[in-house]
Amino acid sequence: MSQPFDFALVVDDDPDIALAARLALRELFVRVETLTSPDELATVLKKDSPDVILLDLNFERGATDGREGLEQLGRIMKLDPDAAVVIITAHGAVSVAVEAIKRGASDFVAKPWGNERLAATVRSAAALRRTRIEARLERERSTEIGQPSAETPLLGKSDAMSRVRQLIERAAPTDANVLILGENGTGKEIVAREIHRLSRRASKPMVAIDLGATSESLFESELFGHMKGAFTGASSDRLGRLKAADHSTLFLDEIGNLPLHLQPKLLTALEQRQVVPVGANKAVPIDVRVVAATNLSAEKLSDESRFRQDLLFRLNTIEIQLPPLRERREDIPALATHFLRGHAQRYRKNITGFETAALQALLDHPWPGNIRELDHAVERGVLMAQGAAIRLGELGLRIDRDATSRIEDMSLEDVEGFLIKKAMARFDGNVSQAAKALGLSRSALYRRLQRYGL
């Protein structure tokens, strides 16, 4: 799943540059903060962990050698080895930026930048940091990974969920590849972890990669690994996810995002049970069981122009279709109660249940965001609740029964803003998917998001 990143930190003594970066990144991050002096960096990093740091190379008046920036980079990497640092540099100092990459920076942007270029660079760096941390945690917690998620177990007694559990129980003990289909928020990763937990590979950690949150330029390196010097910034050998999952399970989330030109390479790796890292001449053997997931429909996956059918046949030896929450409403009370208990404990609130009207609203709501949306609604209810039971108004559910009639009274501009807002909500803030659904380019959608203050 694609999620917005939490925190970006901009370190630049030029307030105009800092403001420009802040405006360009506000759609990608929950918060963007700025520092005018690197002296405050250590204090911030001891309290918080930015998803990405934009760091200027020079701070002293007239300085052009980048010495200050490189020194600060070294301090950052000591405090947080997983840090994603994007260097801000002038066109004439690109050589210094390349030196920064050799010392651990993820990438660089030259002033003056284009907002799309900046956003793409920063997004890639933040995604790389996220995958690095996930891979490290997967190895460190190898004894825990095989366990089902404590946050969202496979709850529910509906017929639809009973069929899902039966398929899991049959598929898990085998080494067959599994393809999980379902809308965003239906619990595809939970199913993948349950399959791994019940498999013969459960003693080793399941390795996961979210292809929907990985920059296209990083796909090949993340999946297959790379050798030192294979490309600019490859300062050391990197183990790809296919090799990291050797003798275990590899979960490929949002497999539909894998570019067509890389699909044959993944197919070859799975068929020949070996992988060739970027920059290497020798194949490395692998023993991997693949569980893939996508929110694309079976019909869209059958489109040869979008997804290679020979790869699809390799991935969907067993296919599991997860039902949307609206088709298993009888499971809503159990799920809502589970989320309530977890959030009440987390926020230390003595809440025991839902008032009748609130529970009925949960049962009636369309839940376009599925289980994830239900979880967020219950969390809000817990935070807002003033008594022992959550009331209807405390859930914050939005009901758009009169949306159609309201549209008739809107101006063309209002309708455009309304549709963009609905598309962004439908795709959980994923700009690429929303732009495609609206028939717009990413840059055109970004301009409209800024215009309507979304």
Same structural domain, 300 and 337:
no
Residue 132 falls inside a structural domain? no
Convert the pLDDT of each residue in 296-341 to its tens digit. Answer: 988 889 888 889 999 999 999 899 999 999 999 999 999 999 999 9
Domain that holds residue 258: 141-323
Same structural domain, 164 and 148:
yes
Angle, CA 426 vertex, CA 424 and CA 429 arms, to 5°: 40
Same structural domain, 66 and 24:
yes
- The structure's pTM equals 0.56
* pLDDT confidence of residue 332: 95
Q: How far is Cα 313 from Cα 300, in angstroms, rounded to an integer?
A: 14
The CATH number of the domain holding residue 373 is: 1.10.8.60
Same structural domain, 334 and 345:
yes
Residue 18 falls inside a structural domain? yes
Same structural domain, 434 and 377:
no
Convert the pLDDT of each residue in 20-39 to its tens digit. Answer: 998 899 888 888 999 988 88
CA atoms within 13 A of residue 212's CA, in its CB half-sphere: 22
* pLDDT confidence of residue 216: 67
Same structural domain, 165 and 286:
yes
Helices (H) and strands (E) in the chain, counts: 20, 14
* pLDDT confidence of residue 153: 63
Same structural domain, 305 and 316:
yes
Closest CA to 102 of 224, 234, 248, 272: 234
* pLDDT confidence of residue 220: 81
Residue 232: pLDDT band by 50, 70, 90 thresholds? Answer: low
Same structural domain, 171 and 275:
yes
Same structural domain, 214 and 273:
yes
Q: At which of 323, 348, 372 does a domain end?
A: 323
Same structural domain, 168 and 228:
yes
Q: At which of 351, 370, 395 does a domain end?
A: 395
Residue 133 falls inside a structural domain? no
Phi, psi of 223 (to 5 degrees): -80, -45
Same structural domain, 157 and 176:
yes
Model confidence at 272: pLDDT above 70: yes
Residue environment code for 97-130, b if the CB has 16+ CB neighbours within 10 A, otherwise e: bebbbeebbbbbbeeebebeebbbbbbbbbbbbb
Model confidence at 425: pLDDT above 80: no
The CATH number of the domain holding residue 189 is: 3.40.50.300
Same structural domain, 318 and 333:
no
Convert the pLDDT of each residue in 173-193 to its tens digit. Answer: 988 999 999 998 899 999 999
Tally the domains of the chain. Answer: 4
The CATH number of the domain holding residue 35 is: 3.40.50.2300
334 CB-near residues (< 8 Å, 6+ apart): 155, 156, 157
| Chain mean pLDDT for the chain | 83
